[in-house]
Amino acid sequence: MQLTDDDFTLFAVPPTFGQDRGALDARWKELQREAHPDRFAAQGPAAQRLAMQWSVRINEAYQRLKDPLSRAAYLCEMNGAPVQAENNTAMPADFLMQQMSWREELEEAGNASALDALQQQVQSARARALSSLDWLIDEKGDYPAAAQQVRALMFIERFSTELDERLDRLGQ
């Protein structure tokens, strides 16, 4: 293993969207045990610094691999289709219409029941988007389309966070 290895190589898992969370968790613990700086205390400060670099690298890879959105974006970038969410916000018209509809529903929702119904719609859309990413990446290998789906999922996640915040405020 090298610090420059991609996350999948580091974790010894296939470079696919579909991952076994339990296997990732187990591998993370194993790698952290191997790289823990305390194991290198007798070898001096240089060895401990290197162990710390490994520990940081392992944690970064784990955070990226365990999160489906981050993992999909990473796979897209690895395969020549970076998401570029900060400067590419183009979305299909039907997706934009759905977003506008959700925003209107959020503004008009006056009780927890209406917000819960909206939350179910959003969670359903999130599940469909994740399923689509699995298909686009692991089945079709269509990384440009997957990058667009990642951007859509980022919108869904952001809206879901706003919805959760609204539910929290309503519950207070």
Q: Per-10-residue mean pLDDT for the chain, 172 residues long?
A: 89 97 97 83 79 92 97 97 81 90 92 93 96 97 96 94 90 65
Q: What is the pLDDT of residue 39?
A: 73
33's CB contacts (< 8 A; 6+ apart) are 39
pLDDT digits (tens, 9 = 90+) for 47-61: 778 888 999 999 999
**pTM score, whole prediction:** 0.88
pLDDT digits (tens, 9 = 90+) for 106-129: 999 888 899 999 999 999 999 999
DSSP string, 112-134: HHHHHHHHHHHHHHHHHHHHHHH
